[in-house]
Amino acid sequence: MQQQKTATIIGAGLVGSLWAVYLSKVGYQVSIYERRPDIRKADIVAGKSINLALSVRGWTALDRVGVGDEIRKIAIPMYGRMMHDLEGNLTYQQYGKEDQAIFSVSRGKMNATMMDIAETYGKAQIFYRHSCEGVNTETGEAMLFDEVNNVRFTAKADVVFAVDGAFSSVRYNSFQKRNRFTYSQNYIEDGYRELLLPANEDGSYKMDKNALHIWPRGRFMLIALANEDGSFTCTLFMPYENDRYSFDQLTSKEKVEEFFKEVFPDFYTMMPHVAESWEDHPLSSLAIVRCKPWHAGKVALMGDAAHATVPFYGQGMNAGFEDCRVLSELMEKHQENWPAIFEEYSRVRKPDGDALQDLSLDNYLVMRDYVADPSFILRKKIEAKFSDMYPERWMPLYSQVTFSNIRYSDAYRQGQVQNGIMDEIMALENIEQCWDSEEVMGLLYEKSAHFNF
């Protein structure tokens, strides 16, 4: 009789829960150990609560194991960005083709749904308030602490997956002490703070729910994503200190109100009690984690534990879900030969993790500084027109990242080449008048000959 295959997952977050379904489908008995209480029963927020944006990569990974429709029930499509200027004027930019959308999902609701999916579809057993103090990478034994019963014990499995977030205890205790393990953690200068814009009294939305709202203000910005109940989760990204506008200056309710009145007047009109919501949410930091290799012996890092990034491309969860799809494909390719799977996973996936981090940092500048710039808007119009005419020759970088499964590293490289081409196009004389001319489209056709999307 064939022996039961076993897997241990550390972390019952979004990626760990989905990976449990993948493993269960190919016959693994899965045990998940989670440090926090069950968020479905306790009145707590699911850690960071910036709303999540699901795009093609995420849907591909969810649909591959048949759970996408469960998530579609709680997702709101956003077809473009709505920019709010200082006077409250609105400018809309479509994300991709007419029917292409990214989807807003509440992190707490998504996390709870993914745990349900892990238990029902993945037949996983989730042990809450169990922290992992390290893993023996050679034997697959996890050293665990049951906080409820105050008991330490070990759990052994054929393979172990550390999906325990940016500040992964497995990575810290079992990887960072290994010879030749490379690791860096960098905080960006900006932090973020959340606000909840409530629904109208009748439960309706105060703004278009099918757009991602941005108030770009150069060195800082506010964004808002719709929730199912008519509210919006809003996030202010801004320097911690040493800037004309920075968090260290907003030390009282009065200063918060003055700040919003001055720089986000239309938002303040919708939410005059902004200072109250401000005090309900802590100021949080943003970090990028880079490390390699992503595996050691019987253990692999996944999701934020391997490649935590900043949220400005809305790809953190999508990248983690893509880890699941890629690992699953490698399991098929190598017929569950784990040393071969892990070696290729580390080698192939690491450049994509790095590229996503670079893309995310670049996109912060786009959202904060450029989206309201007439030259940037024209640039995007030219790209969209040419892409409609010759889709095989040109896919805008945003679409490569958001509406395809093209590797992040390929998208990043292709995007840099496209940037150079577009710099030349934008330098043409009278481009504002002749942007959609045959001459401009012909020049783009010539310069994009080596692309094949």
Count of structural domains within the chain: 2
- The answer to whether residues 328 and 423 belong to one domain is no
pLDDT band at residue 46 using 50, 70 and 90 as cut-offs: very low
Domain boundary among 335, 362, 389: 362
pLDDT of residue 371: 76
Q: Would you state the structure tokens that stand for residue 310, as one six-digit string?
A: 């900043």
- The answer to whether residues 129 and 167 belong to one domain is yes
pLDDT at 415 over 80: yes
**Structural domain contains residue 80:** no
Of the chain, the percentage scoring pLDDT greater than 70 comes to: 98
pLDDT tens-digit map of 262-317 = 999 999 999 999 998 898 889 999 999 999 999 999 999 999 999 999 999 999 99
**Structural domain contains residue 378:** yes
Which residue spans within 67-114 are E strands per DSSP?
Answer: 76-78, 80-84, 90-94, 102-105
pLDDT tens-digit map of 319-373 = 999 999 999 999 999 999 999 999 999 999 999 999 999 999 999 888 887 777 8
Mean pLDDT of 159-163: 99
- The answer to whether residues 149 and 128 belong to one domain is yes
pLDDT tens-digit map of 230-255 = 999 999 999 999 899 999 999 999 99
- Distance from C-alpha of 127 to C-alpha of 158, rounded to nearest angstrom: 18
> Strand pairing of 211-216 and 80-84?
parallel
pLDDT at 452 over 70: yes
Choose among 23, 20, 3: nearest CA to 126. 20
- The answer to whether residues 294 and 399 belong to one domain is no
By residue range, what is the domain housing residue 427? 373-447
pLDDT at 449 over 90: yes
Of the chain, the percentage scoring pLDDT greater than 90 comes to: 90
Mean pLDDT of 399-410: 98
pLDDT of residue 49: 61
- Distance from C-alpha of 16 to C-alpha of 19, rounded to nearest angstrom: 5
Mean pLDDT of 10-25: 97
**Structural domain contains residue 114:** yes
